[in-house]
Amino acid sequence: SYELTQPPSVSVSPGQTAIITCSGDKLGNKPTSWYQQRPGQSPTLVIYRDIERPSGIPERFSGSNSGHTATLTISGTQAMDEADYYCQAWGSNSYVFGTGTKVTVL
Amino acid sequence: EVQLLESGGGLVQPGGSLRLSCAGSGFSFSNNAMIWVRQAPGKGLECVSFISSSGDNTNYADSVKGRFTISRDSAKNTLYLQMNNLRAEDTAVYYCSKSRGTFEPLDTWGLGTMVTVSS
């Protein structure tokens, strides 16, 4: 089955840049989405088709995808960005989610 | 406003059954694939099942195949998940979400409904 691997945690200081990676076989060939899940809330789409931002998502969220790794970048991280982040792509004939990364804003 | 609202969760004994519902509003229900995603306590997201916009195609995670059945009623704008022979490992928050197609993102999520399987 297709698997997506993320680092369990990323720590960042307010105003700095957080980088979250998502690794999977030939992931660069698959449109990848990213979801933010704040504590006690449902997931929210923050990036789709590798680089696109839904309306209402701040410009500080950006994405890229090449080779075997997709990346979510949060520039100028704010306290409100502290959350779990999941990548997602289509694989094994289903929607596959990454293992998740907890972003802590110190 | 696009909304998804799940219902039907609760406490059930191992081997029991539950039917989850998800009511959609504010969008063209019949033009969207619908997906059930679950999250066990303290764990990540898992796609449990999805159904195509037409209802002709369905898919299940191996962990629920043969026990869960997904269906949709476009006249009622409602998605269902019939869960039979429930196990302790099915304990999770179950989210309903929608997607415009196979390679499209899950663009809207419901608030979720908690299913607890315990004796």
pLDDT in tens, B74-94: 999 999 999 999 999 999 999
Q: Do B107 and A42 touch (CB under 8 A)?
A: no
- Residue type at position A106: L
Rounded to whole angstroms, how far apart are CA atoms A13 and B66?
Answer: 47
Banded model confidence at residue B103, pLDDT cuts 50, 70, 90:
confident
Give, for A105, the enclosing helix (H) or strand (E).
strand A101-105
**pLDDT recorded at residue A101:** 98
Which residue in A48, A93, A98 is closest to B59 by CB distance?
A93
Q: Do B105 and A48 touch (CB under 8 A)?
A: yes
Residues in chain B within 8 Å Cβ distance of A96: 47
Rounded to whole angstroms, how far apart are CA atoms B74 and B27?
Answer: 12
SS3 A27: helix
Return the percentage of chain A with pLDDT > 90, whole number: 97
SS3 B88: helix
**B65 Cβ neighbours under 8 A, 6+ residues apart:** none
Residues of B with CB under 8 A from a CB of A: 35, 37, 44-47, 50, 59, 61, 95, 99, 102-112
Q: Do A42 and B109 touch (CB under 8 A)?
A: yes
Rounded to whole angstroms, how far apart are CA atoms A63 and B61?
Answer: 28
Say how many CA atoms lie within 13 Å of A26 toward its Cβ. Answer: 5
Instruction: Name which of B43, B34, B41, B38 is nearest B80 in CA terms.
Output: B34
**pLDDT recorded at residue B102:** 77
Residues in chain B within 8 Å Cβ distance of A94: 47, 50, 59, 61
- Residue type at position B72: R
Number of H helices, E strands in chain B: 0, 11
**B104 Cβ neighbours under 8 A, 6+ residues apart:** A31, A48, B33
Torsions phi, psi of A52, nearest 5?
Answer: -85, 140
pLDDT greater than 80 at residue A75: yes
Residues in chain B within 8 Å Cβ distance of A85: none
Return the percentage of chain A with pLDDT > 70, whole number: 100
Banded model confidence at residue B99, pLDDT cuts 50, 70, 90:
very high
